[in-house]
Amino acid sequence: MSDITPAQNEEEILKFWDENKIFEKTLEKTKDKTPYVFYDGPPFATGLPHYGHILGSAAKDVVGRYWTMKGYYVRRRWGWDCHGLPIEQLVEQKLGISGKKQIETIGVDKFNDTCRENVLTYVGEWGKMVRRMGRFVDFENSYKTMDSTYMESVWWALKQIWEKGLIYEGRKVLMYCSRCETPVSNFEVASDNSYDDVAEESVYIKAKIIGGDGRRTFFDTPTLSSPEGEKKVSTPAGPPTYLLAWTTTPWTLPGNLAMAVGKDIDYALVKDGDAQYILAKNRVEILFNNPAILKEFKGSELVGLQYEKLFDIPQMQSEASFKVYAANFVTTEDGTGIVHTAVMYGEEDYNLGLEVGLPTVQLLNAQGHFNDLIPEFIRGMFYKKAEKFIVQQLIEQQKLFKTEVYTHSVPFCWRCGTRLYYSALPSWFINIQKIKPRLLELNENINWYPDHLKHGRFQKGVESAPDWNISRNRYWATALPFWKCTNKTCGRAVCIGSLEELQQKASNYDQVYKSKNIREIDLHRPYVDQIKLECAVCANEMLRVPEVVDCWVESASMPFAEYHYPFENKEEVQKRVPAQFVAEYINQTRTWFYVMHVINTILWDKAAFENVVNTGVVLAEDGQKMSKSKKNFPDPWLVIDKYGVDALRYYLLSSPVMQAENLYFNEREVDEIYKKVILLLNNVHSFFRMYSSEKILDDWKPEPTNVLDRWIVTLLHQLQTETTKNMDAYDTVRASRPILKFINDLSTWYVRRSRDRFKAGDQDAKNSLKVLGYVLIELSKVMAPFMPFISEKIYKDLTGKESVHLSDWNKDGYTPMSDIELALIKQMDALRDIVELGLSARTEAKMKVRQPLGYLAYKFKNAAEPLGSELEKILAEELNVKEVSAAPDIAVMPDTVLRENSELQVLLSTKISPELKAEGNARELERQVQDLRKKHGLNVGDLIDLYYNTTDPTLEGALIEKFDRKKTGVVQVKKEIEVEPDAEAQVKIDDKAIWLGITKV
């Protein structure tokens, strides 16, 4: 073994792959074969690659390599997601600006140019990692979502969707980031669990009732005895009566327009001091001490009551405002059973507002500050900061009942961490409700790994999906290709689906783009914003809507947009729908997997992919998120340098993280795999090369006769079938785990038990070595998709051929195991069980393995066939007994030890005759001589003379008669002390002293 580190070995192979274009050759070899279609989700290049990406690379690469070896054409082209908030935010920082106002001050052109210049900042780092991971992918020739061709295809797709009547403009309550000044998709927030529990002040407000609709007013103070207030005593000057309402978002109170109650919920009128309160009956005990309930009634009786408005904002005045309405979202689990309703800041509020005709008045500006409609004391103030002033005002005006700290889960911007709020915003939508049944139907055609996601997380996500808000109020993305008539009474909108259509329909194309070739024009803002069309209905000017597209529309368009479909590559793209395979981490069920499914369903009426592998999340060993500041995980580059990529890949691919479970990254486990797989296999390979320098044909197949050879070839076949079966089922865990076991069996059983045969140098040795060579070649093929480096090294060395990655997946993997094969495996397993019991019997009898024993008898409890002489011979050697036999019955006798498990019984004779004793002593003496040889640094083949001195005749007898001179390279044995040997030792064997000395001859 050389001192080359695993990383150096791998670097050399990388160089070889690059210089000899091995990836390109695999494509060349398969280019006319059936395509196996893989869609690769484009990452953002605005961050550095981390363990998640390393996992992704391993998961994608293993499948691509496997299907290539199976003879399919697996095109793999890298892509970059270039648009959207990640890069915009980075550029804002770089330019030292924040917010849309400042972007527009410096100019959208300059801002977008800076985005373009910086979006590929880390491409070099990515390239380094992707290459080092052994990923076969066309990285240099990557597509980018900011390419004009790509953007044009996105326009084409939007137009298809538009023409199907699935795009509409609406106002919807969305989560909104006031820093990024754009709505955030709920699937984006949901996918990254961007919710946090926050404890803050909730408020109970008193809304004074000032009128009713004539049925009953709560100015009345009925006596408790009068049923349902039949005999009302009208006391107009009676105590004031309040609706008691509750909210966790005090900043929305200036927007209050109504109170909602449940019409079947029981409410109560409570007297407290000089005032009366109305609230849900089952909340009374919680909010009042010793309450006096004056009256009980259903919520329906409250509907229509009018209350005094909380704030004076003229724009909010209307016939419908400041009244009580029934709504089915009201509960009494917390609060008061009366829900404060601010139409613009909650989905349910908004829907209720639309239903009963409440005004829709936005009180916040785009940055989340209160606008000019608001009373002066909080005008211009950030909404969250205004809360304490709002509470203060309520106190002063005696509209506050009390405040209470309340913990609830609130969303944060997944990009910038700013707390989000709900707001009704004008936006463009894809109508998901209309296509939902089809989305669900087509999901039935997808194989999900793990499969519980199919009808679990994914289906549930589709079922509850709202319409998809595809517009963003931002700058650096594909501009939405929608133009709207400026004549408000016309308001016609059109969608443009290509550059050519834009040129044809624009009224000022040349003015904006000058004489630029149509293929070179920039579809980004601000250029495309300047294009005007003429309305076909009213002949007024049409302007582009200001929004850009949600970048998830872009990444979902990857299957055709990277090809500039349908403007180019028409046939090829149509053949590539759906993909056979995609793999990303599990949160993409809500994002990329979902949006791909939506776009593909609309465009092609097909699912986007047939097989989808969901990986879990790589966490730090302590179960926390990997965090650079906490330094709770090892630098991936150090791990790679220390153990090599093969070990890291195998660690990931054989772990449950491939079945969407979390992985707590543990460096010790990578180390263990390095030792148990890479080192052990390297040792077997070196061992083979010690005895054979032959090249072996890749397509040669042995017909072994020796039982050990037959066994290892059978075991190899089993490995091939298991790996094939499980790779076909996208189960890399079950496909890869048997590799470790196989290498262990190969090294610790086959090679160890065959060592003496190899050494013999006869025809049997040659045959067996060829078998070992064959096994190593086939093993390297099985391992190639998982551990592409070590398999390449071994394959090249043994076959002399160019690359294992150009070899074919062995068809033996497709053929089932024969009964004979299964029986042989079973027998060898049984044999090894007997060995285990036999060794344990030796331990109990305190017999070293070197001491030969008389016999061992075994019995299978299920009356299985005996092992036969060939296997029994192996058993005898392994256990160092003179005779092995299958016995119909095992009877314990003197000087025997019995051992058994559920399947078999083993009886070991522990009686040592003088003959056996002498042999045992000879073996001990041999070991001592080998130690001396080693101490003196002798090589295999160096010959020695052996000197000894002892007064014990039995040791002397053992040395003369039983000692194996050939094994120890001894020429002469002499009883002599008057020599100065090269090395000497005074030892005790069997409690008797002997002096030994050796001299090289």
Catalytic residues: 42, 81, 552, 588, 592, 625, 628
Residue 47 three-state SS: coil
Instruction: Dig out the tokens for 158 from the structure.
Output: 């939007």
- Cβ(246)–Cβ(335) under 8 Å? yes
Q: How remote is the C-alpha of 34 from its chain's centroid?
A: 29
| Whole-Å CA distances, 378 to 76, 311, 369, 381 | 57, 12, 9, 5
- Integer Cα distance of 594 and 463 in angstroms: 12
**CB neighbour class for 520 (10 Å; exposed up to 12, middle 13-18, buried from 19):** exposed
The least CB distance from residue 738 to Zn ion, in Å, is 47
- Integer Cα distance of 559 and 75 in angstroms: 12
The least CB distance from residue 183 to Zn ion, in Å, is 10
Burial profile 420-453: b = 16 or more Cβ within 10 angstroms, e = fewer: bbbbbbebbbbbbeebbeebeebbeebebbbeeb
Residues whose CB is less than 8 angstroms from the CB of residue 173 and which lie 6 or more positions away in sequence, other chains included: 344, 345, 346, 347, 349, 350, 422, 423, 424, 425
Query: Closer CB to Zn ion, residue 538 or residue 864?
Result: 538
- Integer Cα distance of 514 and 520 in angstroms: 11
Residues whose CB is less than 8 angstroms from the CB of residue 456 and which lie 6 or more positions away in sequence, other chains included: none
Closest residue by Cα to residue 65 from 798, 780, 875 = 780
- Integer Cα distance of 230 and 223 in angstroms: 10
Query: Closer CB to Zn ion, residue 417 or residue 456?
Result: 417
Query: Residue 337: left if φ>0, alpha if ψ -120 to 50, beta else—which one?
Result: left
Query: Closer CB to Zn ion, residue 421 or residue 947?
Result: 421
Amino acid at residue number 579: A
Phi and psi torsions of 383, nearest 5°: -55, -35
Query: Closer CB to Zn ion, residue 485 or residue 708?
Result: 485
Binding footprint of Zn ion on the chain (CB under 5 A)? 177, 179-180, 413, 415-416, 418, 485, 487, 490, 492, 535, 537-538, 540
- Integer Cα distance of 748 and 765 in angstroms: 18
Q: How many residues does the chain have?
A: 1001
- Cβ(595)–Cβ(556) under 8 Å? yes
Query: Closer CB to Zn ion, residue 410 or residue 849?
Result: 410
Instruction: Dig out the tokens for 552 from the structure.
Output: 């998830």
The least CB distance from residue 273 to Zn ion, in Å, is 46
The least CB distance from residue 391 to Zn ion, in Å, is 27
Query: Closer CB to Zn ion, residue 539 or residue 993?
Result: 539
Query: Closer CB to Zn ion, residue 535 or residue 556?
Result: 535
Query: Closer CB to Zn ion, residue 416 or residue 512?
Result: 416
Query: Closer CB to Zn ion, residue 361 or residue 543?
Result: 543
The least CB distance from residue 382 to Zn ion, in Å, is 15
The least CB distance from residue 415 to Zn ion, in Å, is 5
The least CB distance from residue 186 to Zn ion, in Å, is 14
The least CB distance from residue 412 to Zn ion, in Å, is 8
Residues whose CB is less than 8 angstroms from the CB of residue 95 and which lie 6 or more positions away in sequence, other chains included: 106, 111, 114
Phi and psi torsions of 405, nearest 5°: -75, 135
Query: Closer CB to Zn ion, residue 135 or residue 474?
Result: 474
| Whole-Å CA distances, 283 to 42, 293, 425 | 52, 12, 35
Residue 868 three-state SS: coil
- Cβ(887)–Cβ(879) under 8 Å? no
Q: Cα dihedral sign for 391, 395, 396, 397?
A: positive
- Integer Cα distance of 184 and 177 in angstroms: 7
The least CB distance from residue 61 to Zn ion, in Å, is 34
Q: How many helices (H) and strands (E) does the chain have?
A: 34, 35
Beta strands in 841-960 (DSSP E): 853-860, 881-886, 896-900, 904-909, 944-949
The least CB distance from residue 112 to Zn ion, in Å, is 19
HEC sequence for 366-395: CCCEECCCCCHHHCCCEHHHHHHHHHHHHH
The least CB distance from residue 526 to Zn ion, in Å, is 22
Instruction: Dig out the tokens for 80 from the structure.
Output: 């970059």
The pairing of strands 306-307 and 195-211 is antiparallel
| Whole-Å CA distances, 941 to 449, 849, 861, 933, 969 | 57, 26, 47, 11, 7
- The three-point CA angle 286-288-290 to 5° equals 115
Phi and psi torsions of 375, nearest 5°: -55, 155
The least CB distance from residue 105 to Zn ion, in Å, is 20
The least CB distance from residue 530 to Zn ion, in Å, is 19
